[in-house]
Chain A
Amino acid sequence: MLLSELAGITRGGLGGPYRWHGYNALQNRLRQMQEEMQRLVSGERPAAEYPAINLWTNEEEVLLTAELPGVNTEDLDITVVGKTLTLKGARKAEETGENDCCHRRECRYGNFARVIELPYEIEGDKVSAKFDKGILTVTLPRADADKPKKITISTN
């Protein structure tokens, strides 16, 4: 192997790769446990599906952000119906030749689709989306009919 990660692993003899895998599995498990603990503290929830999303809200609109590295804008498809947003897309994998050797394969490729339930009805015509540096931001204005109405009380 030409590249070995800086995780405290030295190139071993014949037993090297096997030992390395065992070490890695243990390290992954430890990391997972650490992340779970972290999540309990921060209130972050693990994503059930790809891509992971964050929602920002106020009375007027919802802001949805998703990390989609390597995805092209033309391959992204966003639809909103009522309270439901559907995010579809694809990331094309770079072609690898027959004789190429993969040392690491951690990035995600292929198709994805995710349906997200929003906290309120959306004005479909006013939705805008922006894709920059691999981050998608969708601004979803709340439907007028769904906005809270202030009721004035008349006194006689």
Chain B
Amino acid sequence: MVDTTVDIEKKEAQTTEGVEHTRAVKVYHPAVDIVEKAKEIVLTADMPGVDDKSIDVTLEKNVLTIYGKVDLDVPEKYRASYVEYGVGDYRRSFTLSEEIDRQRIEATVKNGVLKLVLPKAEAVKTKKIEVRAA
């Protein structure tokens, strides 16, 4: 398991090859929870500083990308005297399998947390097989 100090830190995102940034900010890898339920997959991502207007969820072919733009508002007339975390955008990508119903993906943001509900397509919902005593 990872040790606690690493847990607190924000992880910087790896630059994907062929992707260039136009904004001179750091890009972080948001911490995510992925829970698979019977009918859907719920993805939760911690992205403090992001709201519904600054978040971008794209689905291209089978790659789901979450991108959050964070405004770097450096307080005026202050100087940074102690810095533990960096501020920057967030980006992370996931590959989706065909089993997701793309039309019904839902995204909500609250208190800097993105919640994505990815409903499973009808065909793959687990079917319970009844076992009869012979």
Contact = CB atoms under 8 A, between A and B. Distances in A.
A71 B46 CA distance: 11
Nearest to A61: B78
Contacts, number: 169
Interface of A: 2-7, 28, 31-32, 34-35, 38, 42-58, 63, 67-72, 94, 96-97, 99-108, 119, 131, 133-135
B32 A107 contact: yes
B36 A100 contact: yes
A50 B8 contact: yes
A105 B36 CA distance: 12
Contacts of A71: 111
Given A46-B5, A56-B81, A134-B111, A6 B93 contact: yes
Contacts of A103: 34-36
Nearest to A28: B2
Given A3-B97, A99-B38, A100-B36, A72 B111 contact: yes
B8 A134 contact: no
Given A70-B111, A133-B111, A6 B32 contact: no
B111 A69 contact: yes
A134 B31 contact: no
Nearest to A31: B11
Contacts of B130: none
B48 A69 contact: yes
A47 B116 CA distance: 29
